[in-house]
Amino acid sequence: TALTLLIFYFFILIQAAWSLKTRALTEMVYVDEIDMDEEGIAEMVLDENAIAQVARPGTSLKLPGTSQGGGPSPAVRPVTQSGRPITGFVRPSTQSGRPSTMEQAIKTPRTALTARPITSASGRYVRLGTASMLTNPDGPFINLSRLNLAKYAQKPKLAKALFEYIFHHENDVKNVSNSCVPFSVFVKYHSALDLAALATEHAQFKDWWWKVQIGKCYYRLGLYREAEKQFKSALKQQDMVDTILYLAKVYLRLDQPVTALNVFKQGLDRFPGEVTLICGIARIYEEMNNISSAAEYYKEVLKQDNTHVEAIACIGSNHFYSDQPEIALRFYRRLLQMGVYNCQLFNNLGLCCFYAQQYDMTLSSFERALFLAENQEETADVWYNLGHVAVGIGDLNLAYQCFRLTLVNNNDYAEAYNNLAVLEMRKGHVEQARALLQTASSLAPHMYEPHFNFAILSEKVGDLQRSYTAAQKSEEAFPGHVDTQQLIKQLKQHFAML
Amino acid sequence: MVQSNQDSDISLLNINQGITCLASGVLNPQLGYDCLLVGTQTNLLAYDVYNNSDLFYREVSDGANAIVLGKLGDISSPLAIIGGNCALQGFDYEGNDLFWTVTGDNVRSLALCDFDGDGKTELLVGSEDFDIRVFKEDEILAEMSETETITALSPMYGSRFGYALANGTVGVYDKTARYWRIKSKNHAMSIHAFDLNSDGVCELITGWSNGKVDARSDRTGEVIFKDNFASSIAGVVEGDYRMDGSTQLICCSVDGEVRGYLPGGEELKGNLMDTSAEQDLIRELSQKKQNLLLELRNYEENAKAELNAQLKEADGQRGVIPANTQLQTALSVNLGSDSQSAHVELCISTTNDTIIRAVLIFAEGIFEGESHVVHPSLQNLSGCVRVPLTPPKDVPVDLHIKAFVGYRNSTQFHVFELTRQLPRFSMYALSSPDSATEPLSFVNCTTNERPQRIIMWLNQSFLLPEDAEFQSAPFQVCFTSLRNAGQLCIKIKPGGEISINTDDIDLAGDIIQSMASFLAIEDLQVEADFPAYFEELRKVLVKVDEHHAVNQRLTADMAEHSNLIRSVLVQAEDARLLGDMKHMKTRYIELYDLNRDLINQYKIRCNNHTELLNNLKAVNQAIQRAGRLRVGKPKTQVISACRDAIRSNNFNVLFRIMRVGTASS
């Protein structure tokens, strides 16, 4: 009996060590996946998860152009590719838009910054938060295919550690070519799901944690309705901020922002003042183009947590675009005080200083930004803004050089092409201006400026037909633009006379 | 609802599943506006169209074949009641199921109607076993047997409601009594109650499969309005579609033709048919006149015959028969022979030398097409006609018999009309008690009734060669089923204990229900055991569990596959845009293989799902059967206790409940 006892203890020791190592490996690659989420091209173009195909304005994330909250117009606040005003804080979903065709969707990632993964499963999950591409000289720590999941599911403590390991660490596979990635990724989700299903059965469906995990697996597999069921069931057993956030994410995928807002608001009843929930509400309002409500909720966030970078940045940019650069400057300085020290911040500071007429600080801020730039895209941004400043002070030569430098650093910079074209036009180089504008409009069809400029240019040289088509495109991108409307009216009169 | 796009009048909703039923109405009283309810084979979605948000999304494993929205009985909040495979479920706006019960077969139609006139609505359920059941919350108030699947039900006013059957019958019930019905060779696609002639009483509007729409008076079934569409009617609804404050009747055809009808004005006085209606009336009256003239001529002929009484042999030809001629009918059980299976035999005979030329029997649910004509050939004419009957269900049936009686060479015959009731359990033949083959299954119950009354019930419900008499306390009577030769024993022991031995749980339930209604027993608790049936049920329950597990796996597999397909498709497109044809080809080949796999998997999943559905149906039926063994309160208790047991996956408790009626011993 002494021997059996010894063996028994030995096993317990081994289990403890095993569990510890699993957890350590997981910790190494763990990333909070609530924020780390992006819809892939495939999901976006091929899936129809939304119920309403044409929802009422203000109840859907699909129609960003229909603002209800009275945000600034695109003439004041530039828009992203999706037609949404740019935000003060870059998150995975704030950058890229919803292209209408597959071709457009595939082509867009080629313009560096707006990259979208092919599917959400092969996207950031592989790049972030996984032990991706790391080969272990001794082979994998756990060989998943040999694992008897049913056995582990019986042991709650081991099962949880194992699940997290499979979910986070084994997310990706080693030594496989890129095209095979999705295959193996799904297999891993599958085993994670199997394990979770077995474990929750073992816990007689009473353990909310397992339900959340099953929901997470379903979510990654794209089974949103099943995920919703699991999260709801988990919430019934145990109120958890995490679960609420996941549930809201499901509703956002189903394109039901109002339901997601309700989920958050109900969550706030149970967890009053919870920053992540308020922040979630603000983000949804922002995505729905309801800037004033978004700003209100961001302020609410700051009341609870006055070091919340996202809230400060968003409020700052909102002030900047609503013509209050001095106030925006205060928010950006606050960020600086908190230790945020990067290119983008100095860029913003420079712009704020310029518009607040503190010229002495402007150029030094941009200089600092140039020092801190980590890659060419950031450098391009700084040069572009410098060009803007140069236009502002009337030094067109400097402006010309700045925009050229922007294009040297990033030759996809549609805004720079547009501005350059305007400068060329002033010089009277019509052909060059036209070429630049065409480049700009093909790079960024969502921007109205190149279209409008092109329309004006064509009208001047007497090419009314082209002018009309370009004006129509411009109106499509920004329906409320008065100048475009006037131009179209004028052109129609011309045509009528003919 | 505000239209999202001014250019189009239609906004599309995307459900991603086959839709089986639709309803709209106020589900959440606080919300104050309508929501849309969408039922599919596996789910129910309550959707707020205005805000593009879900109220709830529930999995309903029994499917949703029919849906109705409204208040039920004493439940305070409005419910979305769905009828699935043998199950009824009611959800409030939060998706809580406040109402659950089982019914005999797949539900095809639902309606809410104040059936008993107490100011609260009851639920009418039409199902595939041809029954209309009325539920007062959990409790069954009434059951009406029809002759086909009930495809539509529509409350009219008060306790009156319209119904439509799959065989083209449309009619109106008031409580359990049928007011009228008509049968057409077309199918009724949709029925609706609407006051078209402004007389304050709703008419039954029927849309037919041949494109006809007619409005029939609720009292007589007389057509008061009709219209024709070019194609089959898809649906009939009412609503203020033009937003001018008046409700219209709106009919839509499958081709998409929509017509709206305003109720007729006061000056029409309920007369919607134009001049043609008057012509119809004249035609009808002249036909009546014709008939009367014919009848008169017959009488005159007879009178003439009486005058020439001496011409005896000519009598028969003219159809004169002795005044004391009577038609006798007898029902008996025929155990069958090699050429003929066992059946109930209806023997119709005359009391003298007259013969029966033809017999016309009208009875619901026994014959195909409801009526049966026996027309013996000239050589085989006799004074006695035997008609085999095989009622498929154990329900009492009225046989309306019309017989042509006369002489062999008569040209005119007398018609005898009589009605005979077929007892409920006519398909059971009395047999001698034999303990060896006595069924193991039993139902035991105790009543305070006198045994004589029970014997009375026995005589009324079974076809016994002679009426049974009650002598002393242990009384036993045995039957053999003509359908499957199953045994049935009914024993009455001293102390009022009755035991029914049969392996057929349905039969036992029928007997208990029939006895309880005859003896006017309100509550009856029984002890029952059906070892063979319970064993089968246990197997089914195990299978249901397996199917659920397999289903989860298959769903995950499907999602995995479809994700793969998506990424391969994007990669292929990518290759195409880059002009990399070689890669594109490999990707598309991959895609082709994956697609084939996916289709195969889908087939597997479909099979799994149908099996699961069948098994779930069997479970629901078992609960329903266990309920039918009891009467009144114990019945509802058993049903709800069984559901709890199934929810908690506790099979042993389930069987205990089915045996003794309660969870605790």
- B577, A229: Cβ pair inside 8 Å? no
**Is-above-0.95 flag for pTM?**
no
- Chain A residue numbers touching B11 (CB-CB < 8 A): 52-55
> Which of B2, B564, B573 is closest, CB to CB, to A56?
B2
Q: Is A49 on the interface with B (CB under 8 A)?
A: yes
Angle between helix B505-519 and helix B451-461 axes, rounded to 10 deg: 120
CA A268 to chain CA centroid, nearest Å = 24
Question: In 10 A of CB A475, how many CB atoms?
Answer: 19
Cβ contact, residue pair B552, A43, below 8 Å: no
Asked if B569 lies within 8 A of A256 by C-beta distance, the reply is no
Q: Is residue A265 part of a domain?
A: no
Q: Which alpha helices (DSSP H) does B462-530 contain, by range?
A: 505-519
Give the distance, in angstroms, between the CA of residue B309 and the centroid of all CA atoms in the same chain.
57
Please say whether the beta carbons of B225 and B215 come within 8 A: yes
* Helices A208-221 and A181-202: angle between axes, nearest 10 degrees: 160
Q: Does the interface predicted TM-score (ipTM) exceed 0.85?
A: no
**Which whole number is the average pLDDT over A475-494?**
89
Beta bridge partners of B132: B126, B144
**What secondary structure letter does DSSP report for A251?**
H
Amino acid residing at B582: K
**Which residues in chain B touch residue A55, judged by CB atoms under 8 angstroms apart?**
4, 11, 52
Q: How many angstroms separate the CA of residue B284 from the nearest CA in chain A?
A: 55
Q: Does A158 fall in a domain?
A: yes
Of B23, B513, B12, B526, which is closest to residue B237 (Cα–Cα)?
B23
Give the burial string for B113-126 (b: 16+ CB within 10 Å, else e): bbbeeeebbbbbbb
First to last CA, chain A: 108
In a domain, A235, yes or no: yes
pLDDT at A145 over 70: no
B33 near A CB under 8 A:
no
Query: Which parts of B8-121 are beta strand (E)?
Result: 19-25, 35-40, 43-48, 53-59, 66-70, 79-83, 85-91, 97-113
CA–CA dist A216, A221 (Å, integer): 9
CB of B569 within 8 Å of any CB in chain A?
yes
Identity of the amino acid at B83? G
Q: Of A255, A282, A311, which closes a domain?
A: A255
Partners of residue A57 in chain B, C-beta under 8 Å: 4
Bridge-partner residues for B225, per DSSP? B215
> Quick check: A150 pLDDT over 80?
no
Q: Tell which of A56, A60, A116, A247 to mutate to test the B interface (max B CBs under 10 Å).
A: A56
To the nearest whole Å, the CA of A186 is away from the closest chain B CA by 6
CATH of the domain at A204: 1.25.40
Q: Is A28 on the interface with B (CB under 8 A)?
A: no
- What does the buried/exposed string (b/e) look like for A35-55 if buried means 16 or more CB atoms within 10 Å of the residue's CB? eebbbbbbbbbbbebbbbebb
What does the block give as tokens for A351?
């712009």
Q: Does B601 touch chain A (CB under 8 A)?
A: no
* Pairing outcome for strands B35-40 and B43-48: antiparallel
In a domain, A32, yes or no: yes
Q: Which of A415, A440, A48 is nearest to A255 (CA)?
A: A48
Contact yes or no for A400/A420 (Cβ under 8 A): yes
Q: Could you give the CA distance from residue A352 to residue B46 in angstroms, rounded to a whole number?
A: 49
User: Could you tell me if B323 lies within 8 Å of chain A, comparing CB atoms?
Assistant: no
- What is the domain-level CATH number for residue A479? 1.25.40.10
Portion 365-424 of A in contact with B at CB < 8 A: none
**pLDDT per position as a tens digit, B211-266:** 999 999 888 888 888 889 999 999 999 888 888 888 889 999 999 899 998 887 65
Is some CB atom of chain A closer than 8 A to the CB atom of B542?
no
- In 10 A of CB B474, how many CB atoms? 9
**Which of B13, B564, B573 lies at the smallest CB-CB distance from A53?**
B13
For B537-570, how does the pLDDT look when each residue is reduced to its tens digit (9 = 90+)? 999 999 988 888 888 778 878 887 887 888 888 8
What 3-state DSSP class applies to A257? helix
What would the two tokens of residue A331 be? 């928010």
Q: Where are the alpha helices (DSSP H) in B372-484?
A: 451-461
**Residue A381 is encoded by which pair of tokens?**
């941004």
Partners of B52 on chain A (C-beta within 8 Å) are 51-52, 55-56, 59-60, 255-258
Assigned token pair, B525: 């608790």
- Is A313 among the domain residues? no
What are the C-alpha distances in Å from B57 to residues A36, A341, B95, B172, B609?
Answer: 26, 47, 7, 36, 20
Task: With respect to residue A183, please indicate whether it lies within any of the assigned structural domains.
Answer: yes
Q: What is the mean pLDDT of residues A315-341?
A: 90
- Answer yes or no: are the C-beta atoms of B95 and B55 closer than 8 Å: yes
The verdict on A189 touching B (C-beta cutoff 8 Å) is yes
How far, in Å, CA of B358 to CA of B348, rounded?
Answer: 11
Q: Which residue of A has its CA nearest to B576?
A: A103
- At B3 the pLDDT is 38
Name the DSSP letter for residue B307.
H
Q: Is the pLDDT of residue A144 over 70?
A: no
Report yes or no: B10 at the A interface, CB cutoff 8 Å.
no
Name the token pair of B147: 């002759």
B377 interface with A at CB cutoff 8 Å: no
CB contact under 8 A, B574 and A106: yes
Query: Residue B32 contacts by C-beta under 8 Å, 6 or more apart in sequence?
Result: B26
Positive or negative, the Cα torsion across B32, B38, B42, B43? negative
In contact, B394 and B424? CB cutoff 8 Å: yes
The verdict on A138 touching B (C-beta cutoff 8 Å) is no
Residue with tokens 């029994």: B62
B406 near B355, Cβ under 8 Å?
A: yes
pLDDT in the model for residue A98: 56
Total structural domains in chain A?
2
In A, which residues are within 8 Å of B49 by CB distance? Answer: 52
Burial class (CB in 10 A: 0-12, 13-18, 19+), A259: buried
Q: Which residue among A52, A102, A182 places its CB closest to the CB of B564? A: A182
CB atoms within 10 A of CB A496: 7
Residues A183 and A231: beta-carbon distance below 8 Å: no
**In this complex, do A223 and B559 lie within 8 Å of one another by their Cβ atoms?**
yes
Give the C-alpha separation, A449 to A87, whole Å.
19
Whether residue A172 lies inside any domain: the answer is: yes
CA–CA separation, B210 and B233 (whole Å): 7
**pLDDT at res. A138:** 59
Most distant CA pair in chain A, distance: 109
Between CA B608 and CA A130 the distance in angstroms is 36
* B428-431 vs B414-422, strand pairing mode: unpaired
Q: State the average pLDDT for chain A.
A: 79
Could B59 and A48 be called an inter-chain contact, meaning their C-beta atoms sit closer than 8 Å?
no
pLDDT tens by residue, A242-295:
999 999 999 988 888 899 999 999 999 999 989 999 999 998 888 887 888 889
Helix (H, G, I), strand (E, B) or coil at B114: coil
Residue that terminates a domain, selected from A236, A255, A274: A255
Return the pLDDT at A118.
61
pLDDT for position A181: 35
Classify residue A28: in a domain, yes or no.
Answer: yes
- How many contacts, defined by CB atoms under 8 Å, are there between A and B? 127
Any B CB within 8 A of A150 CB:
no
CA distance B314 to B310: 9
Phi, psi of B63 (to 5 degrees): 80, 165
Q: Quick one: which of A228, A237, A123 has its CA closest to A171?
A: A123
Sheet architecture: strand order including B327-334: B327-334, B343-350, B384-389
Q: Does A187 touch chain B (CB under 8 A)?
A: yes
Could you list the mean pLDDT of each consecutive 10-residue stretch along chain B, which spans 665 residues?
Answer: 47 85 88 89 88 87 89 88 89 88 88 88 90 86 86 89 91 88 89 86 90 88 87 90 86 90 68 63 89 88 66 54 81 78 85 85 80 83 84 84 84 84 85 75 84 85 80 80 84 83 88 87 86 90 87 80 81 84 91 90 90 89 88 86 84 87 70
Tell whether A193 is within 8 A of chain B (Cβ): yes
Paired tokens of B436:
């060896």
The minimum CA-CA distance between A53 and chain B, rounded to whole Å, is 6
User: According to the model, what pLDDT value does residue A274 have?
Assistant: 92
- Between chains, do A228 and B569 touch, taking CB under 8 Å as contact? no
Q: Which residues of chain A lie closer than 8 angstroms to B53, CB-CB?
A: 59, 251, 256, 258-259, 262
* Structural domain that includes position A465: 422-498
Which of the listed residues A255, A285, A300 is the one where a domain comes to its end? A255
Lowest average pLDDT, out of A11-15, A491-495, B132-136, B473-477, goes to: A11-15
| Residue environment code for B15-26, b if the CB has 16+ CB neighbours within 10 A, otherwise e | eeeeebbebeee
The DSSP-derived string for A265-319 is: HHHHHHSTT-HHHHHHHHHHHHHTT-HHHHHHHHHHHHHH-TT-HHHHHHHHHHH
Return the bridge partners of B421, or none: B398
**Which among A437, A462, A434, A463 is positioned nearest to A449, based on CA atoms?**
A437
Whether B14 sits inside 8 A of A262 (CB atoms) is no
Q: Which of A42, A53, A183 sits opposite B570 (nearest CB)?
A: A42
